[in-house]
């Protein structure tokens, strides 16, 4: 897409959002009354950012840009506090979203011959329905099993010959573990591709899932405010996630300045072509970097690095910034343990404490105490080396850390008191 096409697309989105009085007021404050007032990309960059709070203030339907009779579906993201943020889709939006997801699946070699087990939750969350419509658009066979009911998942995976598994990476790990327990080997299955997203995961987790399930594990990204899954997806070359052309990305630093290609900051998206709930410069709170170019797979346009964390996932422990993904990398680089962990942050005598609970594998669990102590020391050293502050490490029994069927909860920050 060249600059003129992009500006035309951005102007169309502006025209659409101006149907919502809230946006009219916001844009008027920066002298934008008509789409034609945005003549250059610099004009566009003067537009104030949209935040989750804007959606909350307009709860539930205040930012819809089409009359409600044209909205055929809503989704919502739960959020940890307060009201959910609600988004709406017209019939055309649903069609567009299905095409975007179908293209994402095609990019990783999924075809109409595939049998797709959709183990993302169906409901207000966009994961299940988003993948489902994409799968039908592609002409593949959708198994709308939703998340949970793990034993049933295994039975269906084997009996129906699922070739593609769609779920969060943490649930995929739980499924892998449950398959091993049930004595079902990867050779008994037809699985070949995993479409994993909705939460941060690491390269080491990819290696783990690929080995245990005998698949290619690919990253899919999205958020309900922008559309849902499919905003970006990896191809088989794994050179970052290719951003679909219906979304215009920017990356900003903490002060809101636009960062050059390749630098990490907060991802901001503007939708292009979405009618029911168009968004202008939406702050995702996700940390990533973007580059423009052509991939060997044929994609030309923007690509983003995998989202390693959200801005608000960052823990400040004794003044040092720590991301859960750094701890995951450190843990998975040490053998003899399961990739199940829980990070517990607390405060004792006015000092922040960090404890990492790590599950040992059933084999290591039967080792001698001395060997377990050595493993614990090794983990501690690795974590401290990675994050730069001291941590306590506690080895816990196999299966003692709760498994996730959707987005995993890896951090318990006891310093945050809920009143």
List contacts with ligand DLL (CB under 6 A).
77, 120, 125-127, 197-200, 219-224, 228-229, 284, 286, 307, 310
Considering the complex, state which of residue 35 and residue 134 has its C-beta at the smaller distance from ligand DLL. 134
How many Cβ atoms sit within 10 Å of the Cβ of residue 1?
Answer: 14
The residue sitting closest to ligand DLL, measured at its beta carbon, is 197
Query: How many residues are listed for the chain in this entry?
Result: 419
In angstroms, give the least distance from the CB of 158 to ligand DLL: 24
Which lies closer to ligand DLL via its Cβ, residue 229 or residue 249? Answer: 229
The least CB distance from residue 129 to ligand DLL, in Å, is: 10
| Residues whose CB is less than 8 angstroms from the CB of residue 84 and which lie 6 or more positions away in sequence, other chains included | 59, 76, 77, 78, 124
Q: Which is nearer to ligand DLL, 56 or 378 (CB)?
A: 56
Distance (Å, whole) CA 200 – CA 198? 7
Spatial distance between the Cα atoms of 252 and 83, rounded to a whole number of angstroms:
27
Q: Which is nearer to ligand DLL, 124 or 184 (CB)?
A: 124
Shorter beta-carbon distance to ligand DLL: residue 38 or 174: 174
As given in the structure block, the two tokens for residue 346 are 């607390």
- Least distance in Å: CB of 233 to ligand DLL? 9
* Residue 267: CB minimum distance to ligand DLL, A: 8
CB 24, min distance to ligand DLL, A: 26
Closest contact distance (angstroms) between CB of 128 and ligand DLL is: 8
Quote the CA–CA distance of 341 and 409 in Å, as a whole number.
10
Q: Is 250 left (phi over 0), alpha (psi -120 to 50) or beta?
A: beta
- Between CA 4 and CA 101, with CA 98 as vertex, the angle to 5 degrees is 80
**Is the Cβ of residue 198 or residue 391 nearer to ligand DLL in the bound state?**
198
Q: SS3 helix, strand, coil % of the chain, rounded to 5?
A: 35, 30, 40
């Amino acid at each position: 897409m060249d600059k003129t096409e992009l500006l035309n697309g951005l102007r169309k989105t502006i025209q659409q959002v101006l149907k919502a009085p809230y946006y009219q007021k916001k844009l008027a404050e920066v002298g934008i009354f008509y789409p034609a007032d945005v003549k250059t990309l610099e004009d566009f960059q003067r537009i104030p950012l949209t935040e989750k709070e804007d959606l909350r203030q307009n709860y539930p339907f205040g930012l819809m840009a089409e009359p409600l009779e044209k909205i055929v579906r809503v989704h919502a993201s739960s959020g940890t506090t307060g009201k959910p943020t609600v988004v709406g889709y017209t019939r055309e939006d649903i069609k567009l979203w299905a095409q975007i997801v179908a293209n994402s699946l095609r990019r990783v070699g999924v075809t109409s011959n595939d049998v797709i087990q959709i183990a993302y939750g169906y409901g207000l969350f966009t994961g299940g329905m988003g993948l489902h419509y994409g799968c039908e658009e592609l002409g593949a066979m959708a198994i709308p099993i939703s998340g949970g009911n793990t034993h049933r998942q295994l039975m269906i995976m084997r009996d129906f010959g699922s070739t593609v598994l769609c779920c969060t990476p943490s649930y995929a790990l739980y499924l892998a573990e449950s398959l091993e327990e049930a004595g079902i080997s990867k050779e008994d299955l037809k699985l070949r591709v995993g479409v994993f997203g909705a939460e941060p995961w690491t390269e080491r987790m990819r290696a783990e899932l690929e080995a245990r399930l005998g698949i290619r594990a690919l990253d899919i990204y999205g958020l309900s405010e922008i559309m849902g899954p499919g905003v970006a997806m990896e191809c088989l070359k794994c050179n970052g996630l290719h951003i679909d052309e219906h979304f215009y990305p920017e990356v900003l630093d903490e002060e809101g300045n636009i960062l050059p290609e390749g630098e990490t900051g907060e991802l901001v998206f503007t939708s292009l072509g979405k009618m029911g709930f168009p968004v202008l410069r939406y702050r995702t709170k996700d940390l990533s970097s973007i580059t423009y170019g052509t991939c060997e797979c044929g994609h030309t346009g923007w690509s983003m690095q995998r989202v390693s964390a959200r801005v608000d996932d960052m823990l400040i422990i004794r003044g040092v910034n720590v991301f859960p993904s750094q701890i995951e990398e450190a843990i998975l680089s040490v053998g003899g343990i399961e990739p199940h962990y829980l990070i517990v942050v607390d405060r004792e005598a006015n000092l922040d404490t960090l404890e990492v609970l790590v599950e040992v594998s059933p084999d290591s669990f039967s080792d001698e105490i001395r060997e377990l102590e050595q493993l614990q020391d090794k983990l501690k050293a690795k974590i401290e080396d990675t994050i730069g502050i001291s941590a306590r490490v506690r080895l816990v029994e196999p299966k003692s850390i709760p498994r996730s069927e959707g987005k995993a909860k890896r951090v318990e920050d006891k310093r945050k008191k809920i009143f």
